[in-house]
Amino acid sequence: MMKSVLKVTTSPARHWVGDGFPVRSLVSYTTDPEALSPFLLLDYAGPHVFAPADAPRGVGAHPHAGFETVTIVYDGEVAHRDSSGGGGTIGPGDVQWMTAGAGIVHEEMHSPAFTRTGGPFRMVQLWVNLPARDKKAAPGYQSIRDGDIPVAALPEGAGRVRVIAGEHAGLPGPARTFTPMSIRDIELVADAEVTLDLPGGHTTMLVVLSGHVTVNDDAGAGEAEVVHLGREGSTIRLRADGASRLLALTGEPIPEPVVGHGPFVLESEAALMAAFDDYRSGRFGRLAP
Ligand code: MN
């Protein structure tokens, strides 16, 4: 059975996160958290060309709690450090999967090398919720290199799928997740037509990063637009109206309240207040100087 197209959301206005990330928030839990669950937010940063600079641009030390951030770099380099001791530099094709869990402090900056050279910059940051039972999970960091991500060829030369999480055609992705989900990074050649099998029962979104696709001969979406599909059914038809890049996200819904404020997403007002208290009391730790 085909999944139905629920709606297509258009590209929103750009805003700056710190001085390093010109983002469009393509998906946000502030409007309809139940429909998006387990996903909370998706920021698409760039495409943008940065001039060479001396001082790294980005976002200085700030906290998160109760969920995970997944950063996928397409162009440029991001350097990360956090209070759990995690850190590293990720470049094109690399993914950083950070579990904020009980609470973390981190900074997200352009790498020193990218700062010096400047150039094109493009990345995605996805926020994935944790179920209440795992919101106090120890903070952690998975560094997933481009070479760790398996690539499946689509039939008839239609393109390729990088399997970041979950599985595609029996090929498992490397990310460890708390609840069932899949993240496919899909490249389609111009005029490609392809049928994808996606999990039934999962919240399902197609995030178009570049190009233009038509879904089920029904709905079209271009750059920075999102096709929201029904949970029922397990196949979709895609046609690429030009070379296209998209993310296919699927996840089992977490049937719990979503109570967020700024960088914290908990399951109740009381838990949210407790997270703020923990942060102010220094219990998230701190970045090494
Ligand atoms: Mn952050």
Quick one: DSSP state of residue 148?
A: G
Distance 71 CA to ligand 1 centre (A): 10
**pLDDT range class, residue 80, cuts 50, 70, 90:** very high
pLDDT attached to residue 91: 98
pLDDT attached to residue 8: 98
Average pLDDT of the chain to the nearest whole number: 97
Distance 96 CA to ligand 1 centre (A): 12
Q: Extract the runs of DSSP E, i.e. beta strands, from 31-118.
A: 39-50, 58-64, 67-75, 78-82, 87-90, 95-99, 104-110
**pLDDT range class, residue 288, cuts 50, 70, 90:** confident
Cα–Cα distance measured from residue 184 to residue 215, given in angstroms and rounded to the nearest whole number: 16
pLDDT attached to residue 39: 98
Give tens-digit pLDDT for 197-231: 999 999 999 999 999 999 999 899 999 999 999 99
Two tokens, residue 126: 């996805």
Is the pLDDT assigned to residue 61 strictly greater than 90? yes
pLDDT attached to residue 289: 79
Give tens-digit pLDDT for 151-200: 999 999 999 999 999 999 999 999 999 999 999 999 999 999 999 999 99
pLDDT attached to residue 31: 87
pLDDT attached to residue 83: 95
Distance 127 CA to ligand 1 centre (A): 10
pLDDT attached to residue 211: 98
**pLDDT range class, residue 248, cuts 50, 70, 90:** very high
Based on the number of CB atoms within 10 Å of its own CB, is 286 exposed (0-12), middle (13-18) or buried (19 or more)? Answer: exposed
pLDDT attached to residue 218: 87
| Whole-model pTM over 0.95 | yes
Distance 72 CA to ligand 1 centre (A): 13
Distance 108 CA to ligand 1 centre (A): 7
% pLDDT > 70, the chain: 100
Is the pLDDT assigned to residue 97 strictly greater than 90? yes
Quick one: DSSP state of residue 208?
A: E
Distance 84 CA to ligand 1 centre (A): 14
**Closest by Cα among 108, 185, 82, 91 to 145:** 91
Q: How many CB atoms lie within 10 A of CB 288?
A: 9
Distance 49 CA to ligand 1 centre (A): 22
Secondary structure of residue 147 in the 3-state scheme? helix
Distance 126 CA to ligand 1 centre (A): 11
Distance 105 CA to ligand 1 centre (A): 8
Tokens 């496919």 -> residue: 184
Distance 118 CA to ligand 1 centre (A): 22
Give tens-digit pLDDT for 119-149: 999 999 999 999 999 999 999 999 999 999 9
